[in-house]
Amino acid sequence: MTPEERVLNRKIVDDNEAAAQAAYQRGDYVSCFLLVHSLIEALLRAFLSKSSRESFDDLIKAYDRFLRQERRSGATFVRELTELNRRRNRVVHQLWKKGYTATNENLAPACQAAFQVYGLLIEWLETYNPEIADIGFEYE
């Protein structure tokens, strides 16, 4: 990745992290959850050096293969990422079935959990590639 690409990626990550925090603080849990999901997807893409063609499910499978090659047990993160993706799918379906307000009402705990998974995943992936922080993934 070129220095220019790193700067651009850092700006994008910072912008999305700030937007997710702001959405959470104003009670817009739908936006918050979807933003954190996209940050986790971007983190996996950067770590695995994947393009935008793979689905989130494909990224989870690639991550699982990486862990198996490293002879590391990452079943917890794989399960958490799978559940995060299932929840995103449910959120999207509920938006068109129940509307924003009803969907948003019960999503605060899911946002908190997504933030936790994001932060822990960054720390875990940095053990394999410390340059993750250079790309901009430094969630606190």
Integer angstrom CA distances of residue 79 from 22, 61, 82, 101, 139? 28, 11, 5, 28, 21
Q: Give the other-Cβ count within 10 Å of 108's Cβ.
A: 14
Res 53: pLDDT: 83
Query: Taking the domains of the chain in order of start, what are their residue ranges?
Result: 3-135
C-alpha–C-alpha distance, residues 17 and 87, integer Å: 20
Whether the predicted pLDDT of 32 surpasses 80: yes
- Give the pLDDT band of residue 139 (cuts 50, 70, 90): low
**pLDDT exceeds cutoff 70 at 140:** no
Three-state DSSP class for 18?
helix
Q: Can you tell me whether residue 58 is helix, strand or coil? A: helix
Q: Does 22 or 1 have the greater pLDDT score? A: 22
| pLDDT reported for residue 111 | 92
pLDDT for the residue numbered 1: 60
pLDDT at 88: 94
Q: Model pTM greater than 0.85?
A: yes
Confidence of residue 37 (pLDDT cuts 50, 70, 90): very high
% of the chain beyond a pLDDT of 70? 88
Pairs from 82-87 (Cβ < 8 Å, separation ≥ 24): 82/57, 84/37, 84/40, 84/113, 84/114, 84/117, 85/37, 85/56, 85/57, 85/60, 87/33
Mean pLDDT, residues 93-98 taken together: 94
Give the Cα-Cα-Cα angle 136, 24, 137 (nearest 5 degrees): 10
Task: Assess contact for 40 and 121: CB atoms under 8 A.
Answer: yes
Tell me the per-residue pLDDT of 98-135, one tens digit each, with 9 for 90 and over.
999 999 998 999 999 999 989 888 888 888 888 877 76
